[in-house]
Protein backbone atom coordinates (compact mmCIF):
# COMPACT_ATOMS: atom_id res chain seq x y z
CA UNK A 1 0.00 0.00 0.00
CA UNK A 2 1.63 3.26 -1.16
CA UNK A 3 -1.26 5.60 -0.57
CA UNK A 4 -2.46 8.19 1.86
CA UNK A 5 -6.24 7.90 2.17
CA UNK A 6 -8.35 10.86 3.21
CA UNK A 7 -12.04 10.82 4.14
CA UNK A 8 -14.43 12.32 3.44
CA UNK A 9 -13.63 13.68 -0.02
CA UNK A 10 -16.15 16.49 0.36
CA UNK A 11 -17.61 18.09 3.48
CA UNK A 12 -20.10 20.90 3.93
CA UNK A 13 -20.54 22.15 7.47
CA UNK A 14 -22.21 25.01 9.26
CA UNK A 15 -20.33 27.40 11.47
CA UNK A 16 -21.70 25.78 14.64
CA UNK A 17 -21.00 22.20 13.60
CA UNK A 18 -18.29 19.84 14.81
CA UNK A 19 -16.75 17.55 12.23
CA UNK A 20 -13.56 15.57 11.73
CA UNK A 21 -11.29 14.84 8.81
CA UNK A 22 -9.50 11.52 8.70
CA UNK A 23 -6.20 10.51 7.15
CA UNK A 24 -4.72 7.02 7.04
CA UNK A 25 -1.51 5.49 5.72
CA UNK A 26 -0.05 2.00 5.96
CA UNK A 27 3.42 2.66 4.62
CA UNK A 28 5.06 2.70 8.05
CA UNK A 29 5.71 6.43 7.75
CA UNK A 30 6.38 8.07 11.09
CA UNK A 31 5.79 11.70 10.14
CA UNK A 32 2.36 13.00 9.13
CA UNK A 33 1.25 16.46 8.10
CA UNK A 34 -1.82 18.60 7.56
CA UNK A 35 -1.69 21.24 4.82
CA UNK A 36 -4.35 23.75 3.83
CA UNK A 37 -4.75 24.90 0.23
CA UNK A 38 -6.91 27.82 -0.84
CA UNK A 39 -8.03 28.13 -4.45
CA UNK A 40 -5.21 28.89 -6.88
CA UNK A 41 -2.66 29.03 -4.05
CA UNK A 42 0.04 26.56 -3.01
CA UNK A 43 -0.43 24.35 0.05
CA UNK A 44 0.50 25.82 3.43
CA UNK A 45 1.64 23.75 6.39
CA UNK A 46 -0.67 23.57 9.42
CA UNK A 47 0.63 20.76 11.65
CA UNK A 48 3.43 18.20 11.80
CA UNK A 49 3.29 14.98 13.79
CA UNK A 50 6.47 13.04 14.31
CA UNK A 51 6.29 9.63 15.98
CA UNK A 52 2.71 10.41 16.99
CA UNK A 53 3.66 13.59 18.82
CA UNK A 54 2.76 17.07 17.66
CA UNK A 55 6.04 18.72 16.72
CA UNK A 56 4.93 21.75 14.74
CA UNK A 57 1.83 23.97 14.95
CA UNK A 58 2.08 26.78 12.44
CA UNK A 59 0.06 29.18 14.62
CA UNK A 60 -3.19 27.56 13.53
CA UNK A 61 -6.39 28.80 15.25
CA UNK A 62 -7.67 26.55 18.03
CA UNK A 63 -10.85 25.80 16.08
CA UNK A 64 -8.61 23.29 14.27
CA UNK A 65 -7.53 20.48 16.59
CA UNK A 66 -5.24 17.71 15.31
CA UNK A 67 -4.99 14.25 16.77
CA UNK A 68 -2.73 11.30 16.04
CA UNK A 69 -4.22 8.20 17.75
CA UNK A 70 -1.59 5.85 16.29
CA UNK A 71 1.20 5.75 13.74
CA UNK A 72 -1.19 5.11 10.83
CA UNK A 73 -3.97 7.57 11.58
CA UNK A 74 -4.22 11.35 11.68
CA UNK A 75 -7.39 13.29 12.42
CA UNK A 76 -8.26 16.96 12.18
CA UNK A 77 -11.16 17.99 14.40
CA UNK A 78 -13.10 21.05 13.29
CA UNK A 79 -15.29 23.25 15.46
CA UNK A 80 -16.84 26.69 15.01
CA UNK A 81 -15.19 27.26 11.65
CA UNK A 82 -15.55 30.41 9.58
CA UNK A 83 -16.43 30.65 5.87
CA UNK A 84 -12.83 31.69 5.16
CA UNK A 85 -11.73 28.26 6.38
CA UNK A 86 -13.24 26.75 3.25
CA UNK A 87 -10.35 25.10 1.42
CA UNK A 88 -8.80 21.82 0.31
CA UNK A 89 -7.24 20.08 3.31
CA UNK A 90 -4.37 17.82 2.39
CA UNK A 91 -2.78 15.14 4.51
CA UNK A 92 0.74 13.91 3.80
CA UNK A 93 3.21 11.47 5.25
CA UNK A 94 6.92 10.79 5.01
CA UNK A 95 9.23 8.07 6.23
CA UNK A 96 11.14 10.45 8.41
CA UNK A 97 10.96 14.22 8.40
CA UNK A 98 11.21 14.00 4.64
CA UNK A 99 14.90 14.90 4.67
CA UNK A 100 15.66 12.04 2.34
CA UNK A 101 12.42 10.36 1.42
CA UNK A 102 10.02 13.00 0.21
CA UNK A 103 6.33 13.34 0.83
CA UNK A 104 3.29 11.31 -0.16
CA UNK A 105 0.07 13.32 -0.28
CA UNK A 106 -3.53 12.21 -0.08
CA UNK A 107 -6.24 13.34 -2.47
CA UNK A 108 -7.59 15.87 0.02
CA UNK A 109 -10.89 16.83 1.63
CA UNK A 110 -12.75 19.71 0.00
CA UNK A 111 -14.28 21.62 2.93
CA UNK A 112 -17.02 24.21 2.52
CA UNK A 113 -18.14 26.20 5.56
CA UNK A 114 -21.59 27.79 5.22
CA UNK B 1 13.33 33.16 4.75
CA UNK B 2 13.07 30.69 1.90
CA UNK B 3 11.06 31.84 -1.10
CA UNK B 4 10.21 29.67 -4.10
CA UNK B 5 9.24 31.13 -7.46
CA UNK B 6 7.92 29.33 -10.51
CA UNK B 7 7.98 30.73 -14.01
CA UNK B 8 5.88 30.85 -16.07
CA UNK B 9 2.61 30.94 -14.12
CA UNK B 10 0.76 29.47 -17.08
CA UNK B 11 1.79 27.77 -20.28
CA UNK B 12 -0.15 26.55 -23.30
CA UNK B 13 1.55 24.34 -25.88
CA UNK B 14 0.51 22.10 -28.76
CA UNK B 15 0.67 18.36 -28.28
CA UNK B 16 4.07 16.82 -28.93
CA UNK B 17 6.13 19.82 -27.90
CA UNK B 18 9.00 19.52 -25.44
CA UNK B 19 8.79 22.03 -22.61
CA UNK B 20 10.62 23.29 -19.54
CA UNK B 21 9.15 24.51 -16.29
CA UNK B 22 11.32 26.62 -14.03
CA UNK B 23 11.64 26.81 -10.26
CA UNK B 24 13.96 29.08 -8.30
CA UNK B 25 14.61 29.32 -4.57
CA UNK B 26 16.40 31.98 -2.55
CA UNK B 27 18.21 29.87 0.08
CA UNK B 28 20.51 27.20 -1.33
CA UNK B 29 20.65 25.34 2.01
CA UNK B 30 18.07 22.72 1.06
CA UNK B 31 17.85 18.99 1.75
CA UNK B 32 15.80 18.12 -1.30
CA UNK B 33 13.40 19.44 -3.89
CA UNK B 34 10.24 17.68 -5.00
CA UNK B 35 8.11 18.22 -8.10
CA UNK B 36 4.38 17.54 -7.82
CA UNK B 37 1.47 17.45 -10.22
CA UNK B 38 -1.99 18.61 -9.18
CA UNK B 39 -5.14 18.12 -11.22
CA UNK B 40 -8.01 20.55 -10.56
CA UNK B 41 -9.57 19.97 -7.13
CA UNK B 42 -7.33 16.96 -6.49
CA UNK B 43 -4.41 16.12 -4.25
CA UNK B 44 -0.72 16.25 -5.08
CA UNK B 45 1.01 13.48 -7.00
CA UNK B 46 4.75 13.25 -6.52
CA UNK B 47 6.64 13.24 -9.80
CA UNK B 48 10.30 13.46 -8.90
CA UNK B 49 12.40 13.93 -5.76
CA UNK B 50 15.92 15.30 -6.07
CA UNK B 51 18.29 15.18 -3.12
CA UNK B 52 20.60 18.14 -2.58
CA UNK B 53 23.58 16.01 -3.62
CA UNK B 54 22.00 15.04 -6.93
CA UNK B 55 22.00 16.89 -10.23
CA UNK B 56 19.01 15.28 -11.89
CA UNK B 57 16.32 12.63 -11.74
CA UNK B 58 14.40 11.00 -14.55
CA UNK B 59 11.08 9.20 -14.76
CA UNK B 60 9.70 8.31 -18.15
CA UNK B 61 9.19 11.52 -20.16
CA UNK B 62 10.08 13.68 -17.16
CA UNK B 63 13.52 14.93 -16.22
CA UNK B 64 14.21 17.24 -13.30
CA UNK B 65 17.50 19.00 -12.73
CA UNK B 66 18.85 20.78 -9.68
CA UNK B 67 21.53 23.45 -9.46
CA UNK B 68 21.66 24.12 -5.76
CA UNK B 69 24.36 26.77 -5.92
CA UNK B 70 22.34 28.95 -8.26
CA UNK B 71 19.03 28.12 -6.56
CA UNK B 72 17.34 26.66 -9.62
CA UNK B 73 15.52 23.56 -10.73
CA UNK B 74 13.89 22.71 -14.03
CA UNK B 75 11.30 20.13 -14.98
CA UNK B 76 11.61 18.96 -18.57
CA UNK B 77 8.61 17.26 -20.16
CA UNK B 78 9.29 15.49 -23.43
CA UNK B 79 6.70 14.95 -26.15
CA UNK B 80 3.87 16.56 -24.20
CA UNK B 81 0.39 15.02 -24.28
CA UNK B 82 -3.07 16.43 -23.43
CA UNK B 83 -3.04 14.22 -20.34
CA UNK B 84 -0.10 16.25 -19.04
CA UNK B 85 -2.41 19.23 -18.56
CA UNK B 86 -2.31 20.09 -14.84
CA UNK B 87 -0.65 22.42 -12.36
CA UNK B 88 2.96 21.60 -11.57
CA UNK B 89 4.33 22.58 -8.17
CA UNK B 90 7.89 22.54 -6.97
CA UNK B 91 8.62 22.41 -3.25
CA UNK B 92 11.86 22.64 -1.30
CA UNK B 93 12.62 21.04 2.03
CA UNK B 94 15.14 23.25 3.76
CA UNK B 95 14.58 22.63 7.43
CA UNK B 96 16.15 19.87 9.44
CA UNK B 97 13.73 20.35 12.31
CA UNK B 98 10.32 20.60 10.75
CA UNK B 99 10.33 18.81 7.42
CA UNK B 100 8.29 21.77 6.20
CA UNK B 101 7.88 22.07 2.46
CA UNK B 102 7.96 25.52 0.90
CA UNK B 103 5.97 25.55 -2.33
CA UNK B 104 6.15 27.71 -5.39
CA UNK B 105 2.95 29.19 -6.80
CA UNK B 106 2.83 26.58 -9.53
CA UNK B 107 2.78 26.51 -13.32
CA UNK B 108 -0.54 25.65 -14.94
CA UNK B 109 0.09 23.71 -18.12
CA UNK B 110 -2.39 23.20 -20.94
CA UNK B 111 -1.45 20.83 -23.76
CA UNK B 112 -3.72 21.24 -26.75
CA UNK B 113 -4.51 18.28 -29.02
Tell me the C-alpha distance between B85 and B18, whole Å: 13
- HSE-up of A104 (CA within 13 Å, CB side)? 20
Give the nearest chain A residue to B108 (CA atoms).
Answer: A40
**Over the stretch B18-68, which tens digit does the pLDDT of each residue have?**
999 999 999 998 989 999 999 998 999 999 999 999 999 999 999 999 999
Answer yes or no: do B101 and A98 touch at CB < 8 A: yes
pLDDT at residue number B6: 97
pLDDT band at residue B86 using 50, 70 and 90 as cut-offs:
very high
Tell me the C-alpha distance between B78 and B76, whole Å: 6
Assess A83–B contact: CB distance below 8 Å, yes or no.
no
Amino acid sequence: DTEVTQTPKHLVMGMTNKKSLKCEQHMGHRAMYWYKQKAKKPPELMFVYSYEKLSINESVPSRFSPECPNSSLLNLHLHALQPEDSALYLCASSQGRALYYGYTFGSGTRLTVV
Amino acid sequence: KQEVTQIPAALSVPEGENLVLNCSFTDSAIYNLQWFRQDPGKGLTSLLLIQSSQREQTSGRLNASLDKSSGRSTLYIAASQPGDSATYLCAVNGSSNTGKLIFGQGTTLQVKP
